[in-house]
């Protein structure tokens, strides 16, 4: 979800947030230790906030700050019957991006 709102005659502020997710699958084969199959998933949220200054009606420059938090869950099955499960909670420190946009 994103929103854009005027913050002045030449300034536009915006923000967005949403959900992220994914699936993981991997197979490894080692002649010494055997094979392994790993399956997993991840899910999280992201958000950003920023603003743009319009130099002309068709050109703007601005900046955005972004952050994300994600949970990872991984299940591994090894040859010989051994199994393992691991999980991780990961977050990204705010990232800063600079933007220049040309409007047609």
Query: How many residues are there in the chain?
Result: 104
What is the sign, positive or negative, of the torsion defined by CA atoms of 45, 49, 54, 57? Answer: positive
In 3-state terms, what secondary structure has residue 1? coil
The residues spanned by each domain of the chain are 2-102
pLDDT at 87: 94
- Give every CB contact of residue 64 below 8 A, 6+ residues apart in sequence: 48, 49, 50, 96, 97, 99
The token pair at 14 is: 């915006």
Burial, 52: exposed, middle or buried (Cβ in 10 Å; 0-12, 13-18, 19+)?
buried
C-alpha 53: how far from chain center: 26
pLDDT at 41: 97
- Give 10-residue mean pLDDT values along the chain (104 residues): 68 93 94 90 95 92 94 93 94 88 91
């Amino acid at each position: 979800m994103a929103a854009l709102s005027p913050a002045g005659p030449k300034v536009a502020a915006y923000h967005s947030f949403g959900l992220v997710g994914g699936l993981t699958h991997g197979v490894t084969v080692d002649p010494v230790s055997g094979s392994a199959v790993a399956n997993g998933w991840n899910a999280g949220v992201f958000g950003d906030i920023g603003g743009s200054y319009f130099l002309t009606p068709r050109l703007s420059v601005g900046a955005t700050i972004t952050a994300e938090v994600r949970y990872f869950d991984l299940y591994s099955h090894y040859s010989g019957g051994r199994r393992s499960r691991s999980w991780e909670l990961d977050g990204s420190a705010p990232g800063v991006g600079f933007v220049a946009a040309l409007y047609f």
